[in-house]
């Protein structure tokens, strides 16, 4: 079983526990606390994972492998770096204007 499958299974178990609460006020309070806590925790995990991936791969490669849009990857990395300003930034590719270079391949 993959880690993502295990995480999803555990989240479903937590949801079932919340749904089993018969008192709607206690169910609302418990579910809301779980939602807010897990959102904060997973946001931190996602940002760190995006940063770690970006330190190894280009944003385009990450998009190709995960299906997550490059702009979203860039945003997650930027958000991570705001919270962790002492960490090094991922390398950026510099775009070079090639329009004025001569083609030496002999093709038109």
> Tokens for 3?
């880690």
Scan for tokens 């950026």, then name that residue.
92
Of all residues in the chain, what percent carry a pLDDT higher than 90? Answer: 67
Cα(7)–Cα(25) distance, rounded to whole angstroms?
A: 27
**Of 46, 40, 41, 38, nearest in space to 77 by CA:** 46
Looking at residue 97, its pLDDT comes to: 63
pLDDT band at 104 (very low <50, low <70, confident <90, very high): low
Cα(41)–Cα(10) distance, rounded to whole angstroms?
A: 15
Q: Residue 83: pLDDT above 70?
A: yes
Scan for tokens 């391949």, then name that residue.
105
Cα(60)–Cα(69) distance, rounded to whole angstroms?
A: 8
| Chain segment 1-41, per-residue pLDDT in tens | 788 889 889 889 988 998 999 999 999 999 999 899 999 99
DSSP 101: S
| Chain segment 29-76, per-residue pLDDT in tens | 999 998 999 999 999 999 999 999 999 999 999 999 999 999 999 999
**Of 63, 50, 45, nearest in space to 90 by CA:** 50
pTM: 0.73
> Tokens for 31?
């579910």
């Amino acid at each position: 079983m993959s880690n993502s499958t295990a995480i999803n299974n555990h989240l479903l178990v937590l949801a079932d526990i919340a749904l089993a609460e018969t008192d709607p006020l206690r169910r609302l309070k418990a579910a809301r606390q779980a939602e807010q806590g897990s959102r904060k925790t997973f946001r931190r995990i996602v940002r760190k994972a995006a940063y770690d991936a970006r330190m190894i791969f280009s944003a385009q490669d990450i998009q190709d492998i995960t299906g997550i849009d490059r702009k979203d990857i860039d945003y997650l990395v930027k958000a991570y770096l705001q919270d962790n300003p002492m960490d090094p930034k991922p390398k950026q590719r510099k775009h070079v204007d090639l329009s004025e270079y001569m083609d030496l391949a002999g093709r038109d």
